[in-house]
Structure 1
């Protein structure tokens, strides 16, 4: 309502019939439009309720948008792939005390960053592309200057990049510790394939040479396919052995298939670590943007998929020209419906075919 005019002038914003709820607190700072100033009389849901709903992005973003894990995990892997493997990462930590080890963390991070910027190609290109996408994703709201959009997008990118490097460090530290304590990658330690061959030789004698015949009939596919399957199911050992080979002799000693298996095994484990982190960071980003920076209203509330708070308006102009607005709203809508058994009557000549099921809001 415009308080500066002697005659009533109203600006009515009603979008309560869409598929999902749109926030109302985005209009809390709304003061003017087309040169006319306005004051808000009411909103449905209220500004406070809308803000509280926006806070649900923190725990619910991943639950409602689990497909985002596929994209986010892949991007995280590409951001860190050029730093695999981190040879001797355990030696970079000062293990004299827990505090000394914590002080070593920034040094390790700095070494990874320097390596990516000085030697890497894939991770550096992906980082630049993702950073530009993040800046463009902020959009062009009138309340934000171009510099602010660049700053927000860059901070968002840095949060994801720091998380990817942290998970890379966690994975590499785990492999280095297991190798150091000879849990994985120990010289002479039998893997699944070697254990299978030893068990077969000791318990299943082959005096007729059936294994050799199968190898000849399948052109060598019989033992090769089986060996690769055992390697797939023995990924931690494969990762540790391949990592040790790379650190000692370099990438040139690996065959193409061994290199592919090494990257695939790292991708699977790294993806499992990344998926909850990338969704949580993105949910935090949307929460901060929608409640504090006043951007990403559509993206944030569409991600929540809230079907409640439906509303519509009825406008009536009486004989004197006065405008009456009737707002009809439902805070909760039913999720389950059932056939209506009620018959037509004088009060309801055309009953609805469907009514809310028992226990649902608005059930008869």
Structure 2
């Protein structure tokens, strides 16, 4: 292993021409719209990728191959013996939200609530740098491009900031191929003005005043591979009883363990076997994956989730007020002693989070037209099947030939609703509330289809001769039924969300781009760590090019102010 200070500022090539507009040909990348998370093809694709990752992930695991890469432990200390460190996660979704956060991270400083916060000398991306799936093109358009536009060149007034990145589950969907090409010893060794010094998908960084940062690649919480464990075992030899450790992980296992106790086993094993024998203390756990800000405080450490880098908002009003870490019923037979952690802060606030949920009625069909189309097709088939049963035989005989048997349609509808309440690929157990709510949702759609069938038979069935009646059903009935059914599904999501079911779909279906956040940490020369969770209530949606700016100035600037505030008062670890 090598130990070195940040190298001197390298000689940079001539700055590329600054774009004069938002034309992708000038920017060098294509700004992307937010991902329509309930689009049928995307749901199928994501489900298949999750299934393949579950079945074949161990065979495609590239972490074992990284044993041949350099095993460096770097050291990052600011010129005054302190360090400013930025943390952002879940950033590679729509351009407006991603670039709003990237623009703020690239500013020389931001001022909020009376605090002047200099730009981080180190930027840590905590996972899911791209959505919905990883590829070279997706990284270029959804993460690297926006961050390069925010900080095109190293700043002229100081040392070049560094960037470290952890892979999340979306980064793993291509087996980590594109992630390694971009962040691990990439050819240009830069993402815009940030230098990328990491040599593997995991890393250990020595920070000022006895602080250390360990970034773990747990591949969706499964396990830590042997080369990674050996890497951290060697790094931990430099820890002492006075050392304090920050551990960054791809998922907030302390929260997911509430429903699935085994989720925290990997982190607990790492702390027990790697960190604890040295006498060092883990004071801070950092994660993204859930797209909000939340901090749990306990007797020995802080547990922080900060996934507000650009992806759709995830609610906070259902967060438990108290958790036990590790859970007392953990699957590990040699777990650490359980401690209670209290919810100290969250963003957005619970009331605002609840109000966001009501937006599902308008946003569901607008954000996900393919989902509304799918519902329209399902209800058209249901109507044709019901009409073929209840209509007079002489009038419905021909139509019956073009309809699916009613029993089959009822089974498909009810099973689809049950699996929607708790997909097989989702983590955690299927509880009674998933079955009850799923079946109620399915029967509600059957009832809606029955009402639609009655209206169709009474008003429109005789208006067109066969086969025009079947065509009219697809052209006229389908779109209307899809819109009405989408509102029924929205009502279900709102009700189910109050029971903690389909919370992700309730907010993913809206694709809320506002309420973003990042965490700015300051480690003073005396060892005091202070955390400033910066909240962005509204993102910018209109940008203007700055063709005459300095080489290190942002290519695009907001035409409207970005309102900043702290999600909570600064927290301090001494």
Give the TM-score band, short-chain normalised.
0.5 to 0.7
Between 1 and 2, higher relative CO (CA 8 Å, sep ≥ 6) is seen in 1
Offset, 1:343: 4.9
Distance 1:146 1:162 in 2: 25
1:39 aligns with 2:342: yes
Cα gap change, 1:289/1:160 in structure 2, threshold over 3 Å: closer, same or farther?
same
Q: Aligned match of 2:487 in 274, 280, 283?
A: 280
Find the aligned partners of 1:19 and 1:148 in 2 and give their Cα distance: 28
SS at match of 1:40: strand
CA-to-partner distance for each residue in 1:308-345, whole Å, 9 max, x for gaps? 1221112233345433111122111111111236755x
Q: Distance in 2 between matches of 1:266 and 1:2?
A: 54
1:70 matched to 2:277: no
1:328 corresponds, among 504, 519, 534, to 534
The 1-side partners of 2:548 and 2:521 are apart by 30
| Structure-2 residue corresponding to 1:23 | 315
Matched-pair contact (CA < 8 Å) for 2:543–2:556: yes
CA distance in 1, matches of 2:499, 2:407: 29
- Kept in 1, the 8 Å contact 2:306–2:519? The answer is yes
Q: Distance in 1 between matches of 2:496 and 2:508?
A: 14
State the shift of 1:32 in Å: 2.8
Which deviations, in whole Å up to 9, do the C-alpha atoms of 1:275-308 show, x marking residues without a partner? 2211101111111222x01122322212111211
1:83 paired residue number: 386
User: What are the residue-to-residue correspondences of 1:1-364 with 2, within 5 Å?
Assistant: 5=299, 8-29=300-321, 31-35=323-327, 36-84=339-387, 86-87=390-391, 122-139=405-422, 146-175=431-460, 236-238=463-465, 258=466, 260-290=467-497, 292-340=498-546, 343=549, 350-357=552-559, 359=560, 361=562
Change in Cα spacing, 1:144 to 1:52, as seen in structure 2 (3 Å) is farther
Structure richer in helix, relative to its length: 1
Contact conserved, 1:335 with 1:360, CA < 8 A, in 2? no
RMSD of aligned alpha carbons: 3.1
TM-score, normalised to structure 2, is 0.39
72 and 310 in structure 1: CA distance in 2 versus 1, 3 angstrom threshold: same
SS of the residue 1:41 aligns to: strand
- Cα distance in 1 between the residues matched to 2:474 and 2:407: 18
The equivalent of 2:94 in structure 1 is none
2:316–2:347: 8 Å Cα contact kept in structure 1? yes
1:15–1:261 distance in 2 versus 1, CA, 3 Å: same
C-alpha distance 133-83 of structure 1, shift in aligned 2 (>3 A): closer
Q: TM-score, normalising length from structure 1?
A: 0.60
- Structure with greater strand share of residues: 2
Deviates more, 1:296-305 or 1:45-54: 296-305
The structure number with the bigger radius of gyration is 1
Structure 1 residue runs without a partner (length 5+): 89-119, 177-184, 186-235, 239-257
* Structure 2, unaligned runs of 5 or more: 1-294, 328-338, 393-402, 564-574
* Offset of residue 149 of structure 1: 1.5
Contact 1:64 1:303 in 2 (8 A): yes
Closer/same/farther in 2, CA of residues 237 and 352 from structure 1, 3 Å limit: closer
Question: Which deviations, in whole Å up to 9, do the C-alpha atoms of 1:9-41 show, x marking residues without a partner?
Answer: 110111000322222223244523323321122
The C-alpha deviation readout for 1:99-152, integer Å capped at 9, x for no partner, is: xxxxxxxxxxxxxxxxxxxxx961211211221222122127888753222111
Q: 1:26 to 1:277 in 2, by over 3 A?
A: same
The 1:9–1:166 alpha-carbon spacing in structure 2 relative to 1, beyond 3 Å, is same
Contact 2:434 2:501 in 1 (8 A): no
Name the CA distance, whole Å, in 2 between partners of 1:137 and 1:47: 25
